[in-house]
Amino acid sequence: MIRGKARIGAALLAAALAGGATTSAIVVPGMLIISLLGGTSIEPQAAALFLALTAAVASAVFAVGLLVAGAPVWAVMHRRGLRERKHAKTAGALLAAGVALALSALAGPQGLVGGVIFAILMLVPGAVAGWTLHRIAYGGSKPA
């Protein structure tokens, strides 16, 4: 059972922040490694700023995604009794990966290979967002 209607907004906000922070924690180190392998060095201050900006942008993207896709899916799952933590993590992972793949497909076939890689990477932030949403909304209880 959701611990109160006010928890829904808090859960969505927390899930967006968690998804954005996790995305940044995965993408930025990867980009830094790629740049180092290419012979480019990056100043620590620039890397820290890039990490913070990436987290902010990714959190905003997650917030939009949660409002457009996540909240409706959550409402349907809640009504159907799919309220366990594993359901939230699975839905979050699949939605995040699916949206990443769909958006990359819009770029045409040339963006599809990178899109598949990015979709696979987005499984983790999506699952973290789903876990966070469940934890806040349902108060940490496994079944509802």
Residue 25 lies in a domain: yes
CA atoms 102, 104, 106, 111: torsion sign: negative
Residue 62 lies in a domain: yes
Residue 1 lies in a domain: no
pLDDT averaged per 10 residues, the chain (length 144): 77 96 91 83 85 95 95 94 95 95 82 86 97 89 48
Residue 54 lies in a domain: yes
Residue 143 lies in a domain: no
Residue 144 lies in a domain: no
Number of domains in the chain: 1
Residue 55 lies in a domain: yes
Residue 101 lies in a domain: yes
pLDDT value of position 144: 42
Range of the domain at 87: 6-138
Phi and psi torsions of 97, nearest 5°: -65, -40
40 and 103 Cβ atoms separated by less than 8 Å: no
DSSP-assigned states of every residue in the chain = --S-THHHHHHHHHHHHHHHHHHHHHHHHHHHHHHHHTT----HHHHHHHHHHHHHHHHHHHHHHIIIIIHHHHHHHHHTT--SHHHHHHHHHHHHHHHHHHHHHTT-GGGHHHHHHHHHHTHHHHHHHHHHHHHHHHTT-S--
